[in-house]
Chains A and B, each alone.
Chain A
């Protein structure tokens, strides 16, 4: 009996790998996932009040420190807003003068599908989540997924009514990013531990400081382009390593997104597909 089950499992794995996304096994998996979706959504709704209660209790322990941090941040941001508004006005004028054609940017050139997270793989091998929205809702493969705190990942599998998102903390994820303040470019990948991230390939001559914000670079070079649009927050620099023997700086980043307890996310869908999506 065990032999039969092992052979059957190996056959399923082989077929899953070899067939295309429109193959019969993929279709069957999608149909089964769709059939089970009402149950997962119902389960998620039942669990939500308990999750909220847990989150509320956990937040209480950090509330005082958080208030102090946010007050300081508010004062800093008020000053920045004035400077940014002035700079933005100048930028708009210059763009009009030059008839500048820009690539798609976030959030202007994207519409969105807001959704809850219904499931996640119960193992440490994959950092992924399952969403109850799919191609019927306009979700496409490689669509960026964000929360209010920043970039979460991208859609890697799409079915009619469900999709799978590979998180930024997965071993297979990598994002072209840049330090917002100094324009230092690099690639953000998973870090050594837990939900940590590193920004690699940052040239030694580039200036990077602790606390700098890192955003997606959304580069474009002819037909080739980044999967992610420009200016989505990826995280903040927590440390900068500048070893003389290394070719590049090693920049550690902390994301504001709590990848281990994602409840709801937003999938970005380009408004104008004919304009050439930033990929």
Chain B
């Protein structure tokens, strides 16, 4: 399977699993975010553009599956995928702790940005529930699942050639 097809299948299955099964497995008030973990894995391996595009379509698929307002999750996950990709291309490159740090930062940012976005579009949301009660258990579960999910992403996507990797600094001339 070529790269875009593998990414599409991974994102599709992750979104389907997230909406139907993972989101309803409650653990101390929170649930894992499998789709976000797959997205972080993809973005770290394939960079910011792939991360943003995969995040956008993953979010759109989730909005359709959950009959949510179209575009809300797509916007959140596109930004999450882009940030993770940039982090992988620059600061986090070749650092062992980068994936786990990305999981922590992105999980928290997605919760905060999601809360802000839902608030802006006029939905009544509980900050206590979104930012405290569910965030900590969700973060813990995400950290627990991160290693196997990233290992799976590594296995399913072929390693990039050196020439394919985005240069940290591009020299002109």
A interface list, Cβ under 8 A from B: 1-2, 5-6, 8-13, 15-17, 25, 29, 32-33, 36, 39-40, 43-44, 47, 51, 117-126, 128, 130, 157, 159, 162-164, 170-172, 190, 192-194, 260-262
B interface list, Cβ under 8 A from A: 16-24, 26, 29-31, 33, 35, 48-49, 52-53, 56, 59-60, 62-75, 78-79, 82, 111, 114-115, 118, 121, 123-126, 128-130, 133-135, 138
Report Cα–Cα, A232/B114, bound state, in Å. Answer: 34
Q: Which of these, B21, B29, B53, contacts A5 with CB under 8 Å?
A: B53
Known pairs A13-B69, A16-B70, A124-B30 / 7 extra A-B pairs, C-beta < 8 Å = A13-B70, A17-B69, A40-B16, A40-B19, A43-B21, A120-B19, A124-B138
| Residues of chain A within 8 A of B22, CB atoms compared | 122
| Residues of chain A within 8 A of B138, CB atoms compared | 124
Report Cα–Cα, A122/B24, bound state, in Å. Answer: 8
Distance between A260 CB and nearest chain B CB, rounded to angstroms = 4
Report Cα–Cα, A9/B68, bound state, in Å. Answer: 13
Report Cα–Cα, A261/B24, bound state, in Å. Answer: 6
Report Cα–Cα, A5/B114, bound state, in Å. Answer: 17
| Residues of chain A within 8 A of B69, CB atoms compared | 13, 16-17
The winner among A5, A10, A128 for most chain B CB atoms within 10 A is: A5
A164 and B66: CB pair below 8 A? yes
> What would be 5 A-B contacts, judged by CB atoms less than 8 Å apart?
A9-B74, A12-B74, A121-B19, A124-B30, A192-B128
Q: Which of these, B24, B79, B129, contacts A124 with CB under 8 Å?
A: B129
B65 and A33: CB pair below 8 A? yes
B52 and A12: CB pair below 8 A? no
A122 and B56: CB pair below 8 A? no
Contact of A119 with B20 at beta-carbon distance under 8 Å, contacts A5-B52, A13-B71, A164-B67 already known: yes
| Residues of chain B within 8 A of A123, CB atoms compared | 73, 111, 114, 130
Contact of A193 with B128 at beta-carbon distance under 8 Å, contacts A119-B20, A122-B22 already known: yes
| Residues of chain B within 8 A of A8, CB atoms compared | 56, 71, 74
Q: Which of these, B23, B30, B52, B135, contacts A120 with CB under 8 Å?
A: B23
| Residues of chain A within 8 A of B20, CB atoms compared | 40, 43-44, 47, 118-119
The closest CB in chain A to the CB of B31 belongs to A122
The closest CB in chain B to the CB of A26 belongs to B70
| Residues of chain A within 8 A of B52, CB atoms compared | 1-2, 5
Contact of A17 with B121 at beta-carbon distance under 8 Å, contacts A6-B75, A39-B16 already known: yes
Report Cα–Cα, A157/B65, bound state, in Å. Answer: 13
| Residues of chain B within 8 A of A262, CB atoms compared | 24
| Residues of chain A within 8 A of B49, CB atoms compared | 1
| Residues of chain B within 8 A of A9, CB atoms compared | 56, 59, 71-72, 74-75, 78
| Residues of chain A within 8 A of B18, CB atoms compared | 122
Distance between A128 CB and nearest chain B CB, rounded to angstroms = 7
The closest CB in chain A to the CB of B32 belongs to A122
Distance between B133 CB and nearest chain A CB, rounded to angstroms = 6
B24 and A120: CB pair below 8 A? yes
Distance between B93 CB and nearest chain A CB, rounded to angstroms = 20
Q: Which of these, B56, B62, B129, B130, contacts A194 with CB under 8 Å?
A: B129
The closest CB in chain B to the CB of A118 belongs to B20
The closest CB in chain B to the CB of A193 belongs to B133
| Residues of chain A within 8 A of B56, CB atoms compared | 5, 8-9
The closest CB in chain B to the CB of A128 belongs to B66
| Residues of chain B within 8 A of A29, CB atoms compared | 63-64, 67, 70
The winner among A47, A121, A162, A172 for most chain B CB atoms within 10 A is: A121
Contact of A130 with B133 at beta-carbon distance under 8 Å, contacts A13-B70, A260-B26 already known: no
Distance between B22 CB and nearest chain A CB, rounded to angstroms = 7
A130 and B70: CB pair below 8 A? no
| Residues of chain A within 8 A of B29, CB atoms compared | 194, 260
| Residues of chain A within 8 A of B75, CB atoms compared | 6, 9-10, 13
| Residues of chain A within 8 A of B82, CB atoms compared | 2
